[in-house]
Amino acid sequence: MFFSSAGDINLLNHAGLVENLFSQTGGYSGTWATASGEGAVFASKMTYGNGTYGCYTRDDYLNSRLIIIWGFNPVVSSYKGNGGLHLARAREAGIRIVCVDPRYTDTAATFADQWIPIRPGTDAAMLISMAYVIITENLQDQAFLDKYTIGFDQYKEYVLGHEDNIAKTPAWAEAITGVPAATIASLAREYAIKKPAALLDGAAPGRTAYGEQFHRAAIALAAMTGNLGIHGGSVPGGSVYGLSVPPVKMGPAVYERMNNRQNPVDQASPPRKDAGPYKGQPSASSARVNEMNIVNAILEGRNGGYPADYKLLYLINCNYVNQWGNTNKMVQALKKLEFIVVQEQFMTPTAKFADIILPTNTYLEINDLAIGSINLFYGYVNKVIEPVGETKSHFEIATELAAKLGIIDYTGKTTEEWLREIVAGCKDIPDYDKFKQQGIQRIKLSQPLVCFEEQIKDPVNHPFGTPSGKIEIYSQEIANLGKPNLPPIPKYIETWESLNDPLAKKYPLQLITGHPLRRAHSQLDNIPWLKELYNHAVKINTADAQGRGITNGDLVKVFNDRGTMIIPAKVTERIMPGVVDIPEGAWYNPDENGIDRGGCANVLTRDGCSPGGAFPGNTALVQIKKA
Ligand X SMILES: Nc1nc2c(c(=O)[nH]1)N[C@H]1C(S)=C(S)[C@@H](COP(=O)(O)OP(=O)(O)OC[C@H]3O[C@@H](n4cnc5c(=O)[nH]c(N)nc54)[C@H](O)[C@@H]3O)O[C@H]1N2
Q: Rank residues 91 and 273 by Cβ distance to ligand X and give the closer one.
A: 91
Residue 118 binding result from ligand X, Mo ion, none, given CB thresholds of 5 to 8 Å by partner type: ligand X
Nearer Cβ to ligand X (13/149): 13
Distance CA 292, CA 306 (A): 13
Asked whether 503 and 510 are in contact (CB, 8 A), the reply is: no
Shortest Å distance, C-beta 515 to Mo ion: 8
Angstrom distance (rounded) from CA 611 to CA 1: 22
Tell me, residue by residue from 15 to 34, as one string, x for binding to Mo ion by CB under 5 A and - for no binding: --------------------
Q: Choose from ligand X, Mo ion, none: what does 503 bind? Cβ within 5-8 Å by kind.
A: none
Size of the site for Mo ion (CB under 5 A): 1
Phi then psi dihedrals of residue 623, to 5 deg: -125, 155
Q: Which does 396 bind (CB under 5 to 8 A by kind): ligand X, Mo ion, none?
A: none
| Contact pattern from residue 464 through residue 493 relative to Mo ion, giving x for each residue in contact according to CB under 5 A and a dash for the rest | ------------------------------
Nearer to Mo ion, 36 or 73 (CB): 36
Does 244 sit near Mo ion (CB under 5 A)?
no
Question: Cα separation of 428 and 77, whole Å?
Answer: 30
The answer to whether the CB of 244 falls within 8 A of the CB of 374 is yes
36 binds Mo ion per the rule CB under 5 A: yes
Task: Check if the beta carbon of residue 297 is closer than 8 Å to that of residue 33.
Answer: no
DSSP letter, residue 5: -
User: Minimum distance between the CB of residue 395 and ligand X, rounded to whole angstroms?
Assistant: 11
Inter-residue contact 588 to 573 (CB < 8 Å): no
- Rounded CA gap, 320 and 88, in Å? 35
402: left (phi over 0), alpha (psi -120 to 50) or beta: alpha
- With CB under 5 to 8 Å by kind, the binding choice for 104 among ligand X, Mo ion, none is none
Give the nearer residue to ligand X in terms of CB position, either 145 or 575.
Answer: 575
Q: Which is nearer to ligand X, 150 or 297 (CB)?
A: 297
- Write down the least CB distance from residue 36 to Mo ion, Å: 3
Q: Residue 514's binding partner, choosing from ligand X, Mo ion, none, with beta-carbon cut-off 5 to 8 A by kind? A: ligand X
- CA neighbours closer than 13 Å in the CB half-sphere of residue 347: 3
Q: Which is nearer to ligand X, 456 or 538 (CB)?
A: 538
601 binds, among ligand X, Mo ion, none (CB under 5 to 8 A by kind): ligand X
CB nearer to ligand X: pick between 232 and 514: 514
In whole angstroms, the minimum distance from the beta carbon of 176 to ligand X comes to 12
**Cα separations (Å) of 206 from 34, 371, 529, 610, 613?**
12, 26, 33, 10, 10
Question: Of Mo ion, ligand X, none, which one sits near residue 570, judging by CB under 5 to 8 A according to partner kind?
Answer: none
Q: Output 299 or 341, the one with its CB closest to ligand X.
A: 341
Distance CA 276, CA 290 (A): 15
Binding-site partner at residue 208 among Mo ion, ligand X, none, CB < 5 to 8 Å by type: ligand X
Pairing of β 509-512 and β 621-626 = antiparallel
CA dist., res. 429 & res. 283, Å (int): 31
Beta strands in 528-599 (DSSP E): 538-541, 555-560, 563-572, 579-581
Check binding of 208 to Mo ion (CB under 5 A).
no
605 binds, among Mo ion, ligand X, none (CB under 5 to 8 A by kind): ligand X
* Residue closer to ligand X, measured from CB, 293 or 522: 522
* C-beta of 78 vs 437, nearer to ligand X: 78
- DSSP secondary structure of 27-41: ----EE--TTTHHHH
Smallest CA-to-CA distance from 583 within 529, 505, 524, 627 is with: 524
Residue 17 near residue 398, CB atoms below 8 Å: yes
Question: Residue 24: helix, strand or coil by DSSP?
Answer: coil
User: E strand or H helix at 453, and its extent?
Assistant: helix 453-457
Closer residue to ligand X, CB minimum distance, 152 or 314: 314
* Cα–Cα distance, 213 to 613 (Å, whole number): 12
Minimum CB distance to Mo ion, residue 612 (Å): 17
CB of 302 to ligand X, least distance (A): 27
Residue 203 binds which entry of ligand X, Mo ion, none, with Cβ cut-offs from 5 to 8 Å by kind? ligand X
Closest distance of CB 271 from ligand X, Å: 25
Binding residues for ligand X, per CB under 6 A? 5-8, 35-36, 70-73, 76-79, 100-103, 105, 118, 120-121, 123, 202-205, 207-208, 316-319, 323, 343-346, 348, 360, 512-517, 519-523, 584-585, 601-602, 605, 617-618
Question: Which residues are within 8 A (CB) of 417 and not within 5 positions of it... i.e. 6 or more apart?
Answer: none
Residues forming contacts to Mo ion in the complex (CB under 5 A) are 36
